[in-house]
């Protein structure tokens, strides 16, 4: 199968093997992009490349469409509508957002992050210390929070993606009475 057709065309059907390979490739790309994003975000304020950080984030967002195409093709092979792919992706995004918010809130409250930041801001206001020094201290604390939360968040994303891909790959292919069957053989070219 042509890889561009697999990742950028939602028409047709694919079998388990192609779905597994396509999903694995996309998951690995997301993992690499996430680790690169983390690396560049945690750089010092002076050396951070904001254009690269935004580009990496936007590329990760753009990977939703290839996930959608691969998922729709697999759903078509099982005789289901591609609308289910939209619902599955929305569920993944909501669960991921809730997990990220929960993990971040846990570390912020449990580790005393908010109290520490408030103490720093109060100290610098009382002492009339320069804004740059304050920002550097706040950035140091934010980086500590990122160090604690980013790995669990990535693990949760990968867990959700893996569970979703495993569930979809377990669907049986229905060749008879499948309204998407007309494109079935074309998808395997």
What are the pLDDT digits (tens) for 59-80? 988 999 999 999 999 998 888 8
Q: Are 70 and 6 in contact (CB under 8 A)?
A: yes
Domain that residue 159 falls in: 3-187
pLDDT given at position 127:
77
pLDDT given at position 115:
80
Question: CA separation (Å) from 187 to 4, 14, 83, 120?
Answer: 12, 6, 19, 59
Q: Give one DSSP letter per residue of 160-172, joined into a string.
A: HHHHHHHHHHTSP
What are the pLDDT digits (tens) for 146-185? 888 888 888 888 888 888 888 888 888 776 666 665 554 4
The answer on pLDDT for 186 being more than 80 is: no
What are the pLDDT digits (tens) for 106-121? 877 776 777 877 887 8
pTM of the predicted model over 0.85: no
Instruction: Round to whole Å and give the CA distance between 17 and 30.
Output: 20
Give me the number of domains the chain comprises: 1
């Amino acid at each position: 199968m042509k890889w561009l057709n697999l990742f950028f065309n939602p028409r047709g059907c694919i079998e388990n093997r192609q779905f597994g390979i396509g999903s694995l490739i996309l998951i690995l790309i997301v993992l690499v992009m996430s680790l690169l994003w983390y690396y560049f975000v945690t750089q010092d304020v002076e050396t951070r490349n904001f254009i690269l950080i935004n580009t990496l984030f936007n590329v990760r967002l753009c990977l939703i469409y290839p996930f959608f195409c691969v998922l729709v093709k697999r759903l078509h092979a099982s005789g289901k509508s591609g609308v289910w792919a939209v619902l599955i992706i929305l569920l993944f995004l909501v669960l991921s957002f809730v997990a990220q918010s929960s993990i971040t809130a846990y570390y912020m409250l449990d580790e005393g992050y908010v109290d520490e930041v408030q103490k720093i801001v109060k100290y610098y206001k009382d002492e009339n210390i320069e804004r740059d020094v304050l920002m550097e201290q706040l950035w140091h604390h934010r980086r500590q929070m990122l160090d604690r939360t980013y790995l669990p968040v990535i693990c949760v994303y990968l867990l959700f993606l893996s569970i979703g891909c495993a569930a979809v790959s377990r669907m049986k292919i229905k060749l008879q009475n499948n309204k998407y069957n007309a494109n079935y053989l074309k998808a395997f070219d």
